Amino acid sequence: MAPRFVVRTFGCQMNEHDSERLAGLLAAEGMEPADGVDDADVLVFNTCCIRENADNRLYGELGRLKELADRKPGLTIAVGGCLAQKDGARILERAPHVDVVFGTHNLSRVPELLRRSALEGPLCEVPDQPDPDAPPLHLTALRDLPYAAWVTIQTGCDNSCAFCIVPSVRGREISRHLDEVVTEVEGLAARGVVEVTLLGQNVNSYGRDLTHRSPLFSELLRRVGAVEGIERVRFTSPHPKDLRPETIAAMAETPAVCEQLHLPLQSGSDRVLALMRRGYTAERYLRRLAAVRAVVPDLAVTTDLIVGFPGETEDDFEATLEVVAEAAYDSAYTFVFSPRPGTRAADMVESFVPPEVAKERFERLRSVVERSALGRHETRVGRHETVLVEGPSRKEPTMLSGRTRQGKLAHFAPPKANGVAPGSFAEVVVTGAAPHHLRADWVALVAPPRHRMRIPVQVR
């Protein structure tokens, strides 16, 4: 019987897609996806280290696996990704039942590392640089969904935001060639994929390392948007300082590009933004946002916000609340600052904000964001929307869920139980609003799914 594997993902969409690539590599080795952890012969953890609680979660999870590893001597455990890049061999010290540690630059070597560890015992290989001879990973990705796909266009980041560990674990920006990305998207469209999300740490600086001219991202948006069969194009995450007029024009002029923009603000205080080394002021941020809204009607805007950055005063925090109110976000990922070792902000110990102050600000910010999100969603009540059907709702399995072009999750009753396949486009009418979703009534099927193949969904 073929060995069975599970890839568990911690972290962002970039990691989710890396996990699809890891799953593809393991499947190419003749392994099969397992139904769950207890059922697996190989367990791969693809980790994140952006926030401290991601570290804690991973080490907690590894600790709990000790008992399973003792019970199943043939079980192989591999840990890779950002945390492995940061901690390296320390993972083997803290969890000696781990067999393989790999980094962010050598995903394609994982099958080889698994084979070697079976012969040589536990090993750790975490190179500092990408391997130029590594085979292209996207060719083997075992994607979770047959109708929507992530496409990595760039890895690494050349910025140096004071709070962020990404540049040290993911390295310098490396863009994939434009034709290679377009060819990948054409291949996906030929298999019936209708939605792609372009991924990068700083997507709108895409191509700077290839041509030293930035508008390449706008060219990419137009080329990807023109691929026959691709109905929706999304991208994440752009940096406000690199949001150029060419990109805004491409968003407005490419019908497939969705009316959705995730534009991380982080703070609304110019003083804190300077401490964070973000490269823009609140006013410049709002001006750029207004420029997009002026040409992309019905734009949904989401953001990332950090409260309690070292040195943040009550006035700074109030400035954030003001910008949040003015930006009228559809939703926001809000975080309390957590110092990451090796970052500039981690050394600003003398100006750390007391945890109880940060927590109180976090709660105030969250309620402002939720009010804003609810207000934005209420304006959609009564409107007809086209959703891409995802499947049964997680909260109410008798309902279906789908996403609008703005990325909003809508829950609705199907015409008959489970009668609409995931990957279909459906028209619904919005009947209710909540801060994180819409409720809707079924109107009509717009288009059935185009994909022919059902790829097994992996256990997370």
Nearer to ligand SF4, 57 or 344 (CB): 344
Q: Smallest distance, Å, CB 164 to ligand SF4?
A: 3
Per-residue binding string, ligand SF4, 41-80, x by CB under 6 A, is ----------------------------------------
Is 233 a residue that touches ligand SF4 (CB under 6 A)?
no
**One-character DSSP codes across 195-237:** EEEEE-TTGGGTTHHHHS-TTHHHHHHHHHHTSTT--EEEEE-
Residue count, binding to ligand SF4 (CB under 6 A): 9
Tell me whether strands 331-336 and 100-102 are parallel, antiparallel or unpaired: unpaired
Applying CB under 6 A, which part among 99-107, 156-164, 288-296, 356-364 lies near ligand SF4? Answer: 156-164
**17, 105, 143, 239: residue in contact with ligand SF4 (rule CB under 6 A):** 239
Applying CB under 6 A, which part among 68-76, 163-171, 226-234, 323-331 lies near ligand SF4? Answer: 163-171
Residues, the chain? 460
Q: Cis (ω within 30 of 0) for the bond into 237?
A: yes
| Cβ–Cβ under 8 Å, residues 232 and 208 | no
Which 3 state secondary structure label does DSSP give 302?
strand
Q: Which helix (H) or strand (E) holds 284?
A: helix 282-295
Residue with tokens 């863009």: 175
- Which residue in 131, 134, 46 sits closest to 85, CA to CA? 46
Applying CB under 6 A, which part among 160-168, 228-236, 282-290, 447-455 lies near ligand SF4? Answer: 160-168
Is 214 a residue that touches ligand SF4 (CB under 6 A)?
no
Ramachandran category for residue 42: left, alpha or beta (phi over 0 → left; psi -120 to 50 → alpha): beta
Nearer to ligand SF4, 24 or 240 (CB): 240
Is 201 a residue that touches ligand SF4 (CB under 6 A)?
yes
Is 306 a residue that touches ligand SF4 (CB under 6 A)?
no
Q: Smallest distance, Å, CB 323 to ligand SF4?
A: 18
Which 3 state secondary structure label does DSSP give 450?
coil
Q: Smallest distance, Å, CB 162 to ligand SF4?
A: 9
Is 159 a residue that touches ligand SF4 (CB under 6 A)?
yes
Which 3 state secondary structure label does DSSP give 367?
helix
CA angle (111 as vertex; 105, 115 as ends), nearest 5: 125
Nearer to ligand SF4, 161 or 388 (CB): 161
354: which DSSP letter? P
Is 161 a residue that touches ligand SF4 (CB under 6 A)?
yes
108: which DSSP letter? G
Q: Smallest distance, Å, CB 166 to ligand SF4?
A: 4
Nearer to ligand SF4, 166 or 430 (CB): 166
Applying CB under 6 A, which part among 29-37, 164-172, 359-367, 412-420 lies near ligand SF4? Answer: 164-172
